[in-house]
Structures are given as C-alpha cells and as structure tokens.
Structure 1
Amino acid sequence: MGIEDKIQSVEEKLEKTPINKATEKERARLKSRIAELKEQKQKKAKGTGDTSGYAVEKHGDVTAALVGFPSVGKSTLLNEITNADSDTGAYEFTTLDVNPGMMDHKGAKIQVLDVPGLIGGAADGRGGGKQVLSVVRNAEIVLIVLDPEEMREDEIKQEVDNAGIRINTDLPNMKIEKKDRGGIKISKTVDGGLEEDTIRDLMRQHGYANADVVIREEMDIDRFIDGLMDNRKYIPAITAVNKIDTVEAERRKEFEEKYDLVFSAETGENLDKLKDLMFDRLELIRVYMKEKGEDADKDEPLILRKGATVEEAMNELPGEMKRRFKDARVSGPSSKFPNQRVGMEHELMDEDVLELNLKHL
C-alpha cells in the first residue's frame, strides 16, 4: 500500500470516529498518524522531485509572497507596487516562474515575490505546487489575493496549511525537554485542553519515551501535534480581494467586513493602504541613526522588527560595533526623555533616533 492509500485509509477511519471525550485518544492517534504520513510523503517528494526551479535569492529587508489561484491579478499588483515588470494577461498561468520586485515603503525595502498560481492539490505536487509553496515558506509574510468572481478562499488556505504553513498564528506555547529516564511528565499552566493520557500517547507516537512537557495554552489535538512537528512554519498573512472596481456596492461592503482589505491593482485603489498594512503586519520599525553633533538620517532608516534592542541594531550595522560600544542615546517613543542614555538591552520603537557612543580601538 502506497503512502497516498495509507493516508486515505487513516482519514476515512478518522471521519468515522465520533468527536467526544471517549474517543479523544483514538482521534489523536489517527490525526498523529496522518501528520506523520504526510511528512513522509513530502520528504519522499523532495528526494525525487526537482525543487530547484523556483529558487529565489533574498534581497531587501524582508520578503513577501503573493499567493493565489491563477488569474487573480497578482502580476498586475506586483507591477503596481514594486519596480517589477511581470507579464500580465487575462488568462490562467501567465506567471510560469517566480517574479520578484522591490517595494520601497516608509524606508523599508520589501522584496515581493509573485509566485505561479496555485491549483488544487498544490501541496501534493500538482502544477509545481511544492516548488511554489517552498518559496512561500521562506517569506516573512504572505499576501493571499482573491478574485471576487471566484473566491476559493478555503481552498487556497487549505493548500497552504497542507504544506505545513500556519498563517496568522503563533508557535504552540509549549516546551518539551528530553530526559534519559522518568517517563513523560506533564505540567499545565492552564485548565482544560487535552487529557494527560492523550498527551502521553501522542508524544510516544512521535518518539518521546522520557521527557518533561510544559503546556502554557489550552490546545486541541491539531495544535499539540503542530507543536511536536519540526516542519511547521508560522507566517503572518493578509487576505485581500482584488478587482474591487468590478464589484457592486453591497457586495463590496460584505468583502470589506470579512477581509483585511479590498483593492484594485488595475485602478490603484487602496494600494497605499495595502502597503501600510504589509508594513504593520510585518511589525517593522524605523530607527534613525544619528552621529554626534549631526542631524538624524531620516532618509535611510535602519529597518528592524518590533522588540529589537540596541544590540540587535548594532548587529545590522557594519564594523565591530559591539566591541566598541560604550553607551547609546535614544530620543523618541521608547525614551523617557530626549537623549536618554541607554545600554545594549534597551528596546527600540518605531521612529526612535539612536546615537551610538563608541570607543576608539
């Protein structure tokens, strides 16, 4: 029996198993088996298939991937928000390779990748889907583009999920420490969630005989299995509806209430809002560097992620900054007062002005 047949067989058993407390352990076992088989299938495909065709060198501060089924207008969008010149056409499969473009916004250089349109079964390799989704896995944000005439939102999100990509969710809040002996010990900081016997069974299925596990959130079977797997990728995503200029007012309002944004790549409507939304979801911050006695350089800010410290800022700068560091002065949202003296551990915020005081070596 091949892997596909095994997956189908286990999925059929799962479908026939009712959802209740009495069947929790059995459903957990079946779901865990499905996850293992799908991982085996993906590893086997990587070993036999050509996945080199869509290799993309990263440029800029961060990378965004445009994802959608064919003919949703991704190529037109890429051309409008970046310096790219991607082929466009009102027919399927215009994009046959990954087309990159660079978007400059608020001082950040965001590399935007227009990947070939997905088709059903992409995560299993149909239509070059594995190569496409491997590019998506390496992006820092996903922009899911929908067509108002053929939304197919659930299908595209399912393909992304089947590829082990979890959008708009954090890593499961759990910690596992392997031990040499003592069995599986479970600590929970929340009430509810999975029974301890179910947790132990799942961990044994994944090769844990002795371990301490701490669970800090109420989670279901799927979420716990994700925490056990090492091939999951967690990426923020924006779901937006293109071609809004072709939609009547009442339907437009429905889209505006349900999705992150509506826009028109053809007319340019809401493209500035889309850029702002991408910047915010990426949690980027701008830090303006300042030399002593000079004005801050606000033309080319240092682009960091939310929560970055002075030390992380120095890591992005040329030279042996940390060896030469004495202290720093910060003015802006993160400072208590202008020119506050801070150390390496100080957490920076958007539009801070940072002046480094360095030793002469």
Structure 2
Amino acid sequence: VRKEGAAQLILLGPTNAGRSSLLAAATGARPQIAPYPFTTRLPVPGMLPFQDLQFQLIEAPALMAGAADGISWGPQVLTLARNADGLIIVVDLSSDPASQLESALTELKKAGITAEPPSFDVEMKLDKKGTGIRVVVSGRLLDCTVTDIEHLLRGFKISNAVIRIAGSVSIADVEDAIFQSKLLFKPTLVVANKLDAAPSRSALENLRRTVPSSIPLIATSSKTGEGLDSLGEEIFRMLKLVRVYTKEVNEAQPSKRPVVLREGATVESAAKHVHSSLARLFKYARIWGPSGKYDGERVGLEHRLKDGDVVEIHIR
C-alpha cells in the first residue's frame, strides 16, 4: 500500500477485535463491518487528522496464530507490518485481551519483528579506506572485550570496518549485527478496544499489568468515541516525530505544511528533505523556536531541531 501522510501505521489484531470499527470511527473510512469473523480480506486505508498532520491507518486482515508460518494471508499481513512506520495492535477488552496481545506479539517475533525498543544499538560500516578495524564503544560490553570483537570480525574475513556500540551489548549481539539477523523494531501502540463492553474495566487493569512498560497503551470505544481523541497524540509521541517549518529568506511567515522528521534530526536532515542541493550549497541557517537560544539564532548543519522550529536556510 502506497504511503501517504506523515506516517503509515498498520492496524493488527485478531478477528472481531474491532479494527474496522476503530478505523471508521477514527478516520471516517468505510470498511466493511460485520459481526462474523474474517470480514476484512484486503488492506483498507484511512487518514487520521492530528493538528496539522495526517497519519495513514491501514486495517490489515486478521493476524492469526500461525501467520508467521504462512497460514492464510499471514505473509501478506506481516509484509505490511515490516513496511509500515509503526504498528497498532487492537485487542478486544470483552474477550481475554492479554491473550490476544501475547498471540500478536508472538507472531510478530516469529516473523522477525519486535514491538519492544532495543536496549542497545550495534552499527557496522565497512571501511573501504583500509584503515583496519575500529570499535567505538559508548556503552558497556557484557561478556567480551574490544579485542574479542576484533577477533570475531577477522574470523568472518572482515578486516576494515567501523563498529559503533551503544548500550549494554554481548558478543552475540555484535554477531547478529554482522549478519543483520537482529529483530526489526517497529514502534507499537496497543489499543484496548470495546471499552463500552460490560467487563472491560477489570479486563483493562489486567491488561495493563501484562503490557511491557516500553509499549504504550490506550483504551478506546469505537461505539461511544471514548479515548479516540488521544490516538493521534499517542501516535505522534510513539513515533518520536518533530515538525519543522521552513521559511524563505526575507519572507515574514513560514510554510504552513511542516517537514516531518524524527527526534534527533538536524538542520542537515531538514535541508536534504526539502532538496538535496540545499545541504550541498549550505552556508548557514537561522532558527526560531524551542531549539534556539534566541529567535533568529545562526546555526550550522549539525544543529539539532525540536518540534515547532522554524528554519531559514541560507546558501552560498
């Protein structure tokens, strides 16, 4: 499904969890809604407005046990999940939501996808200049030394590379990074739906105790609309987005449409997003907003941006 808006998120979950009702209530889309199982057989898109952004929500067919093993449309659903910017797992508060969530997370993990952010990062780049192996550690090595990592790489015929390590990392984590076999992390939001159902409040408390602390959860009712107002804000926060507004030199007002970037983005990121030549011909930028020390501050390419910044780029 072609991506539109600021980000694409896939609605996953078991059949009859209320994915179609949630999509319709949140976006105004008109998917087929029926009381019988497996109503959704093809991806159904909708656009969720949030302030001056729109998020594309895609309802996928039901994520069933065995999806990662190729059952039914499982491969297609998991491909949608891999390609999306984030996931929304919808569970039914009236029918053992903790078990539904566990099943969904299990299928994702079997398919090489994790909803929990990694506690470390290992990045390897081959160095064509032939400067040997360089290991840069900004975290902690758990069961190895820098020399052990160098021996590991040479054992795989890698003699020129830069390894950057952040967080607490084992030698197995480094090996996974070499073969790119680590799980693919997808920011994930759990939506506990059918808050209007009779036993939902106690079920919600039980669910809160089982959801990993690193995965955000909100409760909604597609029927009454309760909780839906927080959906856009939770997505924005979960994806760690920042909105940057560009301003032409000598213009009084910035653009109304923001450039959408991730937290940690720099002026260089914004320049490249607008046009590759802006970064190449860059001279300096002026900043108005939360990342600046004062309005109109002159900054360079490495200046880190914050949500709501206005950027005026000057070129040579």
Using the size of structure 1 for normalisation, the TM-score is 0.71
| Number of residue pairs matched by the alignment | 297
Report percent identity of matched pairs: 32
- 3-state SS of paired residue (1:142): strand
Aligned: 1:77 with 2:34: no
With over 3 angstroms needed to count, the CA separation of the structure-2 counterparts of 1:171 and 1:132, relative to structure 1, is: farther
| Contact map agreement 2:140 2:166 (CA 8 A) in 1 | yes
- Structure 2: how far apart are the matches of 1:289 and 1:175? 32
Which position in structure 1 is the counterpart of 2:56? 111
Give 1 or 2: higher helix fraction. 1
| Contact map agreement 2:192 2:219 (CA 8 A) in 1 | yes
Which position in structure 2 is the counterpart of 1:294? 252
Give matches, 1:10-49, under 5 Å.
Answer: none
Q: How far does residue 309 in structure 1 lie from its aligned partner after superposition? A: 1.5
Structure 1: which 5+ runs fail to align? 1-55
Aligned: 1:240 with 2:200: no
Match of 2:218 among 231, 242, 261: 261
Q: How far does residue 333 in structure 1 lie from its aligned partner after superposition? A: 0.8
One-letter identity of the residue aligned with 1:280? R
| Contact map agreement 1:78 1:101 (CA 8 A) in 2 | yes
- Structure 1: how far apart are the matches of 2:265 and 2:51? 18
Which position in structure 1 is the counterpart of 2:88? 143
Match of 1:190 among 136, 140, 161: 140
Give matches, 1:1-361, under 5 Å.
Answer: 56-148=1-93, 149-151=95-97, 152-170=100-118, 172-175=120-123, 190=140, 192-193=142-143, 208=156, 217-219=167-169, 226-230=176-180, 232-246=183-197, 247-256=199-208, 259=211, 260-291=217-248, 292-297=250-255, 299-317=256-274, 320-358=277-315
Q: How far does residue 357 in structure 1 lie from its aligned partner after superposition? A: 2.9
With over 3 angstroms needed to count, the CA separation of the structure-2 counterparts of 1:203 and 1:128, relative to structure 1, is: farther
- Structure 2: how far apart are the matches of 1:60 and 1:104? 9
With over 3 angstroms needed to count, the CA separation of the structure-2 counterparts of 1:77 and 1:324, relative to structure 1, is: same
Q: How far does residue 289 in structure 1 lie from its aligned partner after superposition? A: 2.5
Structure 2: which 5+ runs fail to align? 128-132, 212-216
Q: How far does residue 81 in structure 1 lie from its aligned partner after superposition? A: 1.9
- 3-state SS of paired residue (2:89): strand
- What whole-Å deviation, never above 9, does each CA across 1:247-303 have from its counterpart, x for those lacking one? 354444444565511111222111121211101111111112233241234x42222
Larger Rg: 1
Using the size of structure 2 for normalisation, the TM-score is 0.80
Give 1 or 2: higher strand fraction. 2
With over 3 angstroms needed to count, the CA separation of the structure-2 counterparts of 1:143 and 1:340, relative to structure 1, is: same
Higher RCO by CA contacts (8 Å cutoff, separation 6 or greater): 2
Q: How far does residue 169 in structure 1 lie from its aligned partner after superposition? A: 1.8
- 3-state SS of paired residue (2:75): helix
- Structure 1: how far apart are the matches of 2:150 and 2:48? 48
- Structure 2: how far apart are the matches of 1:311 and 1:215? 24
